[in-house]
Chains A and B, each alone.
Chain A
């Protein structure tokens, strides 16, 4: 049956379409319930709470924009913004660069590709888990594996996670280490680039580098863009790693005070849920702004080959 015939048939059998719509509705219902009950409902509530003074135990009191004006003078908030921006702006580019590099290497037809792909992907599955954060603490502790390794080369280690200068660096490393999931997406993207472009390019005498710069990279930009947006949002929301590595404090000396961690401390540690709700909305605005800028800028560098 041709496609047009199928369409005609669908149009002719209105009752079937209706029935299918109904079925779709019932299948989607759980998702809608979830969306309204555990996503949109709480979001609306937190928006309302962000204009209140709410300590969880007593009714919320409307206090206008006080929570938002308070942010201006909140030094710990500024510290947490600094930490979070550093984390996002350093770890995401490095992570994506590494992912792309390895994807290109693997794409060259390495023997046992499936094995390598799985091995590199593994950290992405584990990276945000509690177990890995605990492991990280042990590896980068003063008596940890990393310092033992350095000692082999006669380099004296330090307390990588217990000193303010290096603590954030270990968390950035942890995020970079989860390069597997963007890498798998890059690999899929590379596979979609038609071989004939490369053949044509090599017939024209283009070097490997030239092929990469003029064929691979432009055709891969939609994938790079996709990964960039996803990883930036993901990085802004990081919580578990800092929570476990610093024992929930963001220490030493607030050097790993991620935005989400500070928000959590305000809400649950200090019974300051109104302010915490306002912080959550500020984060949403920041992530939204980053994403909007990303989309706007994409016009200038992302190439859609269709």
Chain B
């Protein structure tokens, strides 16, 4: 009997000990590098070029940290998010994750990403501007580090302007009224061979955010509520319906085709339209695909209103499930802060968000990179936009669906705007 009690007591303390030990390392900034060999996994979406460059960067990192082995995994965009969701659900998430703005809050808010303040000993963020860092924060927690920065731009095909004898616009003064007039003029002077422009918005969150800001409105409020005014959204569609009628923009069916053909097969790249929109970093694939003299201009009305904004093209984040957060943070530090990595990665993931790296790679940029850097440095930008709230990750296909309904005449702009905002709100409420 006595013996049994003692035995029990031993057992209890043996159970308690690991618990105590966990208290020691679990808190705050006590994350430590291991001396033992460590393997971490890193995942990203993207094509082959990105994989080649990233593998080279990983090799360079491993040379500096011989005890860390990095296993890279990559997928295409759609498959990437399916896989990330399922591996996270299975508690098997990769340590280092390439993250997008659309999904940042979905993951961060649900506790699956590490607050990088915990790893600040290994990942130095002091070189970043505060506004840039903010784009990776949710409720003050730094869940992700921006890799590259992008900015919405007007893309014009100077060859087509010259061919049809239309003067290039002055982007320091032009308004949406000017834009419409130029679009109509282009269509007219080409005799209908081309359309002046593609849809001016309603295909992605960026275009809605910009249009809302121009009207003193925002898509999301500070706390992630939907604050978009239906009348503002309806006015964007009315503007496009007007241009569709006058021929200034391509038909609804052509827009659908252009969209599904992707950036390199879309109407801008194939020269079916002379003006369109895109992120500044998309100029490189656009130039390659079109072979035309494409220029990046400020968005109509932006020079005066400074309503445009810097959007991180993507982020690095560390999974909260990671057993090696210190090593994961060290890898990210290498990727965003070291010239050795910047030399390899260049601008493939966007213009580096870290200004020192941006300057470092600026020396040997190709034409597209040059245009993209010049644009982001010259275009007027307002404050950072609120991160897409959880439930908003399906924004783009949702807005495209409503835009199609409006452009095909199935719904009126006002009715569609209200239905859209209702649906978006219910998605966000459901995810909260």
Contacts and interface: CB of A to CB of B under 8 A. Distances in A.
Contacts of B394: 265, 269-270
Interface string A240-277: 00000011111111100000000001001111100000
A271 B431 CA distance: 8
Contact of B81 (A252, A253, A268): A268
A162 to B, nearest CB: 4
Contact of B260 (A58, A137, A164): A137
Contact of B106 (A161, A247, A248, A271): A271
B418 to A, nearest CB: 14
B408 A252 contact: yes
B430 A57 contact: no
A150 to B, nearest CB: 15
B110 A251 contact: no
A55 interface: yes
Interface residues of A, number: 28
A251 B85 contact: no
A142 interface: yes
Contacts of A161: 257
The binding surface of chain A is classed by DSSP as loop
Interface stretch (B60-68, B189-197, B397-405): B397-405
A163 interface: yes
Interface string B247-259: 0000111101101
Nearest to A57: B110
Contacts of A272: 430
A102 B251 CA distance: 40
Contacts of B254: 142, 159, 162
A247 B391 CA distance: 21
Contacts of B82: 268
Interface in A192-251: 246-251
A252 B403 CA distance: 10
A253 B401 contact: yes
Interface residues of B, number: 34
A117 interface: no
Interface string B231-265: 00000000000000000000111101101100000
Contacts of B89: 56-57
A135 B397 CA distance: 23
B85 A268 contact: yes
B431 A55 contact: yes
A141 B257 contact: yes
Contacts of B400: 249, 251
Interface in B71-89: 78, 81-82, 85-86, 88-89
B152 to A, nearest CB: 21
B401 A254 contact: yes
Contacts of A250: 401
A159 B253 contact: yes
A162 B106 contact: no
B155 to A, nearest CB: 21
A256 to B, nearest CB: 11
B410 interface: yes
Interface string B86-100: 101100000000000
B427 interface: yes
B111 A251 contact: no
Given A57-B107, A159-B253, A265-B394, A251 B427 contact: no
Interface in A122-141: 137, 141
B393 interface: yes
Contacts of A162: 253-254, 256-257, 260
Contacts of A142: 253-254, 257
A241 to B, nearest CB: 14
B253, B397, B401, B410: most-surrounded residue (chain A CB, <10 A): B253
A146 to B, nearest CB: 13
28 contacts: A55-B431, A56-B86, A57-B89, A57-B110, A57-B112, A142-B253, A142-B254, A142-B257, A159-B254, A159-B256, A161-B257, A162-B253, A162-B257, A162-B260, A163-B253, A163-B256, A163-B408, A164-B408, A247-B259, A247-B260, A252-B408, A253-B405, A253-B408, A253-B410, A268-B85, A270-B394, A271-B85, A271-B106
Given A142-B253, A142-B257, 4 more contacts: A246-B260, A248-B397, A252-B256, A269-B397
